[in-house]
Chain A
Amino acid sequence: MTVFDYAPAPESRSVVDIRASYGLFINGEFTGGHGEPFKTINPADEGVLAEVACADESDVDRAVRAARAAYDKVWGPMPGAERAKYLYRIARIVQERSRELAVLESIDNGKPIRESRDVDVPLVAAWFFYYAGWADKLRHAGLGPAPKPVGVAGQVIPWNFPLLMLAWKIAPALACGNTVVLKPAETTPLTALLFADICRQAELPPGVVNIVTGAGETGAALVSHPGVDKVAFTGSTDVGRQIARTLAGTRKKLTLELGGKAANIVYQDAALDQAVEGIVNGIFFNQGHVCCAGSRLLVQESVAEEVLERLKARMATLRVGDPLDKNTDIGAINSAAQLARIRELTDAGQAEGAERWSPPCELPSQGFWFAPTLFTGVAQSHRIAREEIFGPVLSVLTFRTPEEAVTKANNTPYGLSAGIWTEKGSQILWTAQRLRAGVVWANTFNKFDPASPFGGYKESGFGREGGRHGLEAYLNA
């Protein structure tokens, strides 16, 4: 160890009690499933964490019936002010149990504790706190004088932000008077099941929140269940398309938060050190497992060399390793399948002629790891510039004029997010107006807040989550 190395600073796991096996959470009770149970593993060391029940069609049916009964008898008729208090309770318990939630999230997902502790869990509490306040003010939301809940919401969420996506889905749904059946991702079910315990501590009426674990088949059974009135999905564009097809011709409401291939535009007058920080945060936050990640860097040609030099120097300081170490910047890739997908696409990048670079970094021998990676000499036609990689991989392209930057940024079927770096306010507004993307971060990146709508244009899906706009998905106005 040299004098400047960091000593290990691991967060204690003792705050979390992981059970050997978990059931489904239906009608306020943990119950077995009729599917084949599956194991969830720690992506940092491939160790088995727990066995989890799998819901088949009959289990999904039980959950939907429980949600329907709770909607008809308890949650739907309840005054908004009372619903609000339950949501406030949940927000408070999340805050009280935040360390436990953060540690469990990092263990099950592989994300650094620094992020689960400082970003995910605080935002989860904020989301419940924010939507709690809407529950008794829905008539003032500008969505009509007498907005009504939709009924039973079927919600399917991804593995990249397991608890945060749960909060994005459940908080507005409950605030609006709906009940929910939520399916977490099969690789990251544990914090959702811990959330079930939080619902019990809050004494949320049985059936208001139901959690069915399983893989794609469980999700398909949920979205196609005739007792579901509204489907909300966050995940890949391909699965989103399938869900849209499944719902064709039905009366179910649908919102989709899908993939992205965000352009992060750096103009020559940008504050370059801040821009480099923003680029790093844009693509290496959460191992790049972020639908709105700034995965296409567009640098103005005149500063490209300098930006790349500073970016490489900054990347060399990123610490990859134990997610529970408080100094870790980049944790584990969530699964073997995702690691294989990242490898396939980066190999394609090399094969198509882009130049690959990673800082020297030693990866652990156990678990799923991928070094932060940079591609230069990228053409718009390359797969690494077109397809979502969902990993710590940045493709660098250049431009000469603002018009060219906007044209290249918009040259994608996606339209979720974008970044702009310049010191010139009029240039920010000019660029932001022309970008076909739902979230534009100017001189910052990857910021989230429950008061702020989030969602995409084009094939990044439809509907918005967050803010007043996020209520629309869960109300019939």
Chain B
Amino acid sequence: MPDRLSVRKTYKLYIGGAFPRSESGRSYPVTDSKGRFLANASHASRKDARDAVVAARKAFPGWSGRTAYNRAQILYRIAEMLEGRRDQFIDELRQAGASKGAAGTEVDAAVDRWVWYAGWADKLAAVTGAANPVSGPFFNFSTPEPTGVVAVVAPDSPLLGLVSVLAPVIVSGNTTVVIASEPAPLPSITLAEVLATSDLPGGVVNLLTGHRTEIAPWLAAHMDVNALDLAGALPEHVRELEDKAAGNLKRVLRPTGDDWAGEPGTARMTAFLETKTVWHPVGV
């Protein structure tokens, strides 16, 4: 018999930098790999998803307007804050079924991934942009810009998978609404606590927990969402989500079957970039 009753955590949504419960008042029980009750997670509604899009849109001009150097600082700060909570994440991943060793490896990899992407912020334009040698007296250059508000269906790897889809979306200045892993949402909300204390402006990342089959179609059909990452979408729902995304010609990143432990590459970043080309005459 322990001499002290533990204080359990209430897991909530993360919208616009705040941690509200679902406006619907709903929650759902989350269990560990052996079926034991861990916590009730918020069960987000359509209204929560719409509020999250509003927050993401509001945050977009500020976040995309920051210097790349500043975004790099903030992504690196996320790595610092995550490292500081290493033990807490190991505990939560173990509750979700990972061994102690695997949990430690995953947290370290998640920290390192933020560091990797932090370094990309001020290099993307150099690598994906161009000075175009057009045939005429013009200075002509192409620069990458963020696509806008990106909705992400996160994979079921609750920390490393989530970080691996989140970081490439926001590093270039996009803002996002993420549907966390449905069976293992708890480390995701704890990650939101890291984000909230990492100088990341409120609304850049908005995190919903709940049923992805219920929320994802609203985001896929939302006219103020510019792109959709289907990393964690169930195969039987991909067609419906892509069909809805066609309504405003969202950019869709299909499920890629990524190995989250592997080298990320640049594809997840470039999937959510637009190329802007500016022409100006040269003359005196």
Contact = CB atoms under 8 A, between A and B. Distances in A.
A and B physically associate: yes
Contacts of A73: none
Contact of A453 (B142, B242, B245): B142
Interface in B216-260: 226, 238-243, 245-249, 251, 254
B275 A244 contact: no
A442 B275 contact: no
Contacts of B239: 248-249
Contacts of A373: none
Given A451-B132, A452-B132, A469-B275, A444 B138 contact: yes
Interface string B120-163: 00000001101011111010101000011000000000000000
Contact of A443 (B140, B246, B281): B281
A384 B254 CA distance: 36
Contact of B134 (A442, A449, A455): A449
Interface stretch (A77-85, A202-210, A458-466): A458-466
Contacts of A435: 276
A245 B267 contact: no
Interface of A: 126, 142, 237, 240-242, 244-245, 247-249, 251, 256, 258, 413, 428, 432, 435, 437-444, 447, 449, 451-455, 457-459, 461-462, 464, 467-469, 477
Interface of B: 127-128, 130, 132-136, 138, 140, 142, 147-148, 226, 238-243, 245-249, 251, 254, 267, 274-281
Chain B's interface: helix, strand, loop or mixed, by majority?
mixed
19 contacts: A142-B128, A240-B249, A244-B242, A248-B243, A249-B242, A256-B249, A437-B276, A438-B276, A439-B278, A443-B281, A444-B279, A444-B281, A449-B140, A452-B277, A457-B147, A459-B249, A464-B275, A467-B130, A469-B275
B248 A413 contact: yes
B248 A453 contact: no
Given A248-B239, A248-B243, A449-B134, A462 B279 contact: no
Contact of A469 (B130, B133, B136, B238): B130
A437 B279 CA distance: 13
A440 B278 CA distance: 5
Contacts of B128: 142
Contact of A452 (B134, B240, B247, B280): B134
A440 B277 contact: yes
A437 B249 CA distance: 15
A284 B246 CA distance: 31
Nearest to A247: B242
Contacts of A142: 127-128
A436 B271 CA distance: 17
A258 B130 contact: no
A453 B245 CA distance: 25
B214 to A, nearest CB: 19
A428 B278 CA distance: 10
Contacts of A237: 249
B238 A249 contact: yes
Contacts of A437: 276
Contact of B243 (A240, A245, A451): A245
A439 B276 CA distance: 6
A409 B276 CA distance: 15
B277 A443 contact: no
Contacts of A256: 249
Nearest to B274: A457
Nearest to A251: B254
Given A248-B239, A249-B240, A440-B278, 9 more contacts: A244-B249, A247-B242, A413-B248, A438-B277, A439-B277, A443-B281, A444-B280, A451-B135, A462-B251
B279 A458 contact: no
Nearest to B248: A459
A461 B249 CA distance: 7
